Structure 1
Amino acid sequence: MSLPNVWHHRKVAASAAKSCWICYKPSTSVLITPDNKDFFYICAGHLKDKSFCLPDASEAAALAERKKKEEMDREIEAVKREYEEKQKRKAEKRKAKEKSKDKAKDAEETQKNDDEDKKDEKERDDRITAISKDEPKPEDEARIFSLHKNFYQMRIDRIRNAEAAKRNRERLKNPTTFPSVPSGDP
């Protein structure tokens, strides 16, 4: 029997939580083989333990990409907030200037303000595109792990023991496996 050391992480409903294979605390995380031959409940903390299991290399790369995207999104939000604050300050300055200026220069000043707004918007858009350039597209993949060799061997042993017990039960049910009753010739 060949059981690959590839395990997919799945979540179950909170009402279906069962005890963790390692620490026996209730857990909703399940590790299951791709062919559904074996599964066990495991705590999320154990999945982060490098001495228990390791994420698949492609999975680790995908996680790094997701973190990078989240950082980019935060940076883009910061740029947008900075732009909004800058626009608010300019609007306040304009209101103060409009009160003190005469109407002849007002049309010229309005054109100048519009040009500054367009320039600021272009600067903001350029910064956002520079940040989001080569932005990875995260895919919602199943988490894939491989167990440490000792834990993997424990799973294989458990399956082998279960198969041996099943064979023994079948042998005991079959009456031909027992010897016949001795005849009574003394």
Structure 2
Amino acid sequence: MAFPNEYTHRKVAETAAKSCEICYKPSSSVLITSDSKDWFYVCPSHLKDTGFCTPKIDHAAIEARKKKELEDEIERVKKEYEEKQKKKKEKAEKKDDKDEKDKDKKDEKDDAKKADDKEKTAATVRSKKEDSPVSPTEEEEPRVFELKPTFFQQRLFKKRQAEIAKRNRERLRDPNYFPSVPKNLP
């Protein structure tokens, strides 16, 4: 009958939103046990309340995510460095070829290259800004929670009461539950 005090936060469709167990406002967030024996709707603001529940932090998952982010950053920096080295080589080759041309043309091309480099760096900065906020915000919220003892006891009590009510309904449907009318004369 008892279930673990470990609830996973899940989202449902906005059309399936029901009243929060605490404040009775419509909510699309659900806390559910791993074995699906108990679930209830709750507002996301209540999940941040330390008096209601505490998040269970999976340190291994956090470390793995940080390690992956670090590897991705190293990979990106290596690619940028290789691109810069290629540009320097191309620039050196072009410089040797263009020594014969006028200085005015060089200045114009250098200005154009600087503008191109600025545009490329601005584009990479924009792409970094677009990439970085998307993934961390989704994963920053904890998904597993542990209810405080008082709230967990309330959940257990409600489950027990529902089970008792169900058992009583079944008993009342059974015709042998009530005593029969005496058939003999007194």
Q: Is the 8 A contact 1:59 1:144 kept in 2?
A: no
> Partner of 1:177 in structure 2?
177
Q: Which amino acid aligns with 2:3?
A: L
- Which whole-Å deviations, capped at 9, do the CAs of 1:117-164 have from their partners, x for residues lacking one? 9xxxxxx9xxxxxxxxxxxx9796971000000110111111111111
Unpaired runs of 5+ in structure 1?
A: 81-102, 118-123, 125-136
Q: Which amino acid aligns with 2:25?
A: K
- Which whole-Å deviations, capped at 9, do the CAs of 1:76-128 have from their partners, x for residues lacking one? 9xxx9xxxxxxxxxxxxxxxxxxxxxx7878999xxx8xxx9xxxxxx9xxxx
User: 1:35 and 1:178 mapped to 2: Cα distance?
Assistant: 37
Q: Is the 8 A contact 1:8 1:142 kept in 2?
A: no
Matched residue SS, 2:37: coil
Matched residue SS, 1:185: coil
Matched residue SS, 2:168: helix
User: 1:4 and 1:27 mapped to 2: Cα distance?
Assistant: 23
User: 1:43 and 1:147 mapped to 2: Cα distance?
Assistant: 14
Q: How many residues align?
A: 135
Q: TM-score, normalised by structure 2?
A: 0.58
Structural mapping, 1:1-186, within 5 Å:
1-58=1-58, 62=62, 143-183=143-183, 185-186=185-186
User: 1:24 and 1:43 mapped to 2: Cα distance?
Assistant: 9
What root-mean-square deviation, in Å, do the aligned CA atoms of Structure 1 and Structure 2 show?
Answer: 3.9
Matched residue SS, 1:2: coil
What displacement does 1:59 show?
6.5
User: 1:44 and 1:6 mapped to 2: Cα distance?
Assistant: 17
**Structure 1 pair 35/142, CA: closer, same or farther in 2 (3 Å)?**
farther
Q: TM-score, normalised by structure 1?
A: 0.58
User: 1:53 and 1:22 mapped to 2: Cα distance?
Assistant: 12
What displacement does 1:58 show?
1.4
What displacement does 1:169 show?
1.0
User: 1:108 and 1:5 mapped to 2: Cα distance?
Assistant: 72
User: 2:184 and 2:106 mapped to 1: Cα distance?
Assistant: 127
- Which whole-Å deviations, capped at 9, do the CAs of 1:54-84 have from their partners, x for residues lacking one? 1103179839x77xx6xxx9xx9xxx9xxxx
User: 2:53 and 2:60 mapped to 1: Cα distance?
Assistant: 12
What displacement does 1:173 show?
1.3
Matched residue SS, 1:46: helix
User: 1:27 and 1:108 mapped to 2: Cα distance?
Assistant: 64
Query: Once superposed, which parts of structure 1, at least 4 consecutive aligned residues long, lie more than 6 Å away?
Result: 103-109
Unpaired runs of 5+ in structure 2?
A: 81-100, 115-120, 122-134
User: 2:22 and 2:151 mapped to 1: Cα distance?
Assistant: 10
